[in-house]
Chain A
Amino acid sequence: MFRTMERNVVHFDLDTFFVSVARLGNSALNGKPVIIGGNSDRGVVASCSYEARKFGVHSAMPMKLARRLCPSAVYLRGDMDSYSRYSNLVTDIIRDRVPVVEKASIDEFYLDLTGMDRFFGCRQFTAELKQTILKESGLPISYALASNKLISKVATDDAKPNGQLYIPYGNEKGYLAPLAIERIPGVGNKTSSLLRRMGVETIKVLSEIPVPMMENLLGKNGIELSRKANGQDDAPVVPYTEQKSIGKEETFNSDTIDMKFLYSELIRMTESVAFQLRNQRRLCGCLTVKLRYANFDTVTRQTMIPYTANDHVLLSKAKELFVKLYDRRMLVRLLGVRVSHMVGGFQQISLFDDTEENVRLYQAMDKIRKRYGEPAVQRAVSLNTNKS
């Protein structure tokens, strides 16, 4: 019943979030092209200022290319801690004022204001919220107010930078019609080139393709895409999604076949994941190891384990999986470890497998890490990792 009702959904998106945060800490960066990303040649651009975009730089572009396009820009490494601090600050500001908020990513929020217009008037309320965020956090933010998540997200891109848009109920289709098909979330390289080869360039044309034909073309996604092209999206704003897994992965500076190095990386990542697990007072029941070869072939393997958060259990399983996984004599580009099937709780101490020293060792190590940061203690094997 609620889904058929006219809704008021706002999509908030912080403009060039990483750059904005960097500028808060260093006003000398204002007005200059700033590019944030990994500083090795294999890194990609995580965020870039509008000044840098003029040079053709965009996010997810290889850093190497960005340097060539815009050599004069200020290049910075990301600082995840301060990003999440500022992100949480903005989240708190919004949550204080709006009951139904979905934090879609570190810099994106969906708000469901349905019913609130009776009290405040949605347009005025959102405009004021935007100003409050700018005032309290110092971060520029853009938004679009529409009747569903899809339209508000697409429109936010048009509102940027530091702007706002309102797409009234009933205007969804008209708003989307002239836009390029790539603007629909979920239309990636493959779908876009397929559609473009058929001569479909704008969303208007896409919306006119009969549904059965779309289904024929793209299967289930085709039906979904057809609905999107018509401006229909009944996805609810989900206030809270539980974290389903914890993982860590690393693309190496250069592809490697050095087993000793791969093992030490595996150990380092597993240790870190296990610590995060314990820190969140959780145990995991499934472990996954991921491997990407130099030719981008990606393979994963997972195993169910009795609920645990202990390094040594996870380590031995991770090694087992890695041995099974790494069956080609080819250079490795990326290695990753992930735990899932998480439940809340503490490690059950085992009568025969855990010695008292072991238990105390874990507790002492975690205590040190909590106080002095995660890299403060680690296994010696995982130390020699910064291989160039």
Chain B
Amino acid sequence: MKFIVSSSALLKQLSAINGVVTTNPVVPILENFLFEIKEGKLTITASDLQTSMMTEIDVEAKEDGNIAVPAKILMETLKNLPEQPVTFSIDRDTYSIEISSDNGRYKLAGENATDFPKIPTVTNATAVDMSSEVLSNAINNTIFATSNDELRPAMTGVYVNLSATNATFVATDGHRLIRYRRVDIASPDAASIIIPRKALNLLKSTLPSDNVPVTVEFNSSNAYFNFSNIKMICRLIDERFPDYENVIPVDNNNNMTIDRLEFMGSMKRIAIYANKTTHQVRLKLAGSELQISAEDLDFSNEANERLSCEHDGEDIEIGFNAKFLVEMLNNISAKEVTLKFSAPNRAGLIVPSDKGENEDILMLVMPVMLNNYV
């Protein structure tokens, strides 16, 4: 078997799906790309069993065939080759691969393509269409709040709930929660799935910067994402997502509106002086003044700043993990944000003062238990 392909075109396609390949996979064959040629079209597959990605590229080939090619060595070779057509010659019996370029010849050992795990197909799927921009917005707005706790698998992914009128994306790690809702995505069949973080991270880095349509198909166990010439299939997290609607408070009437960048800047400075492990800062709202302070008793560090804000409600003193707040503020694009509180030991909400036409975003953050009573 033999085929000729442009080195840079191939590299571009491989880079798009290379993120799936793990360094220490469950089965060694997963360190390879699967190359399949059919009628002049090369299909490349990468997989870690949970998530698989596929892409296609036209090649010059006289016959069909397949081979598994070691991913790392191939990527590095292509990265270091100047743009030119390269020829792949594969020995069907020994699975050895020879790459010839103008610069010389490189030989590496491939593996039998039939050993590569079969990629599942989605049957009985529900399909939804959206644009890549909308999808990447939804991912960017939620993914940072997912949990790393493998003991609670449901929270290691983003929950997506489709209804006839909207789509809701929710992520939480038990200390904060993001609910991102869009009215421009909807499906007549109501459905909810949990997409694992790794798949979303891959999507995030692969989704093209120009706006292209994305087709999402899913059933109860897998989801398909189809855009440009890339396909991604991921296994869904088969768990019950926590009952998030019930924990979102509805009676947070102590509102503070503040310039987002000013608030975030101040928070970042103060956090430098907070404990490096817990990142705890204290917000003190009195009248229309917000005082932010932090201290690290172990190093005798302390800092405090005063900001002016619009405040409508009782004075309140509440503690938060500054890292959470900064991450949240960073993911909002509005000029101003409103923080809604009720009590120092109850959840606080952050909402942007103005938002996009079709979107609605709500961020919830749990405070820390300040025991500053006498």
Contact = CB atoms under 8 A, between A and B. Distances in A.
Contacts of B347: 351
Given A346-B319, A356-B346, A367 B174 contact: no
A350 B175 contact: yes
B265 interface: no
Contact of B242 (A242, A344, A352, A363): A352
Interface string A337-354: 000000111111111110
Contacts of B367: 349
Q: Which of B172, B174, B177 has the most CB of A within 10 A?
A: B174
A360 B374 contact: no
Given A281-B297, A349-B369, A363-B373, A356 B345 contact: yes
Interface stretch (B189-197, B275-283, B331-339): B275-283
Contacts of A352: 174, 242, 247
Given A242-B298, A363-B373, A347 B366 contact: no
B4 to A, nearest CB: 55
A359 interface: yes
Contacts of A366: 371
A351 B175 CA distance: 5
B364 interface: yes
B59 to A, nearest CB: 51
A307 interface: yes
Interface bracket on A: 20 to 34
Interface in B332-365: 345-347, 364
A347 B321 CA distance: 10
A261 B319 CA distance: 39
A349 B319 CA distance: 10
B366 A350 contact: yes
A351 B278 contact: no
Contact of A346 (B175, B176, B368): B368
A55 interface: no
A344 B366 contact: no
B174 A351 contact: yes
B174 A346 contact: no
B296 interface: yes
Contacts of A348: 175, 278, 321, 366, 368-369
Interface of A: 242, 278, 281, 283, 307, 343-353, 356, 359-360, 362-363, 366-367, 370
Given A242-B298, A349-B367, A350-B174, 15 more contacts: A307-B277, A307-B278, A343-B275, A344-B296, A345-B280, A346-B370, A346-B371, A347-B368, A348-B369, A351-B175, A351-B242, A352-B174, A352-B247, A360-B345, A362-B369
Q: Which 6 pairs show the lowest CB-CB distances between chains A and B?
A: A345-B278, A346-B368, A343-B277, A347-B369, A349-B366, A359-B345
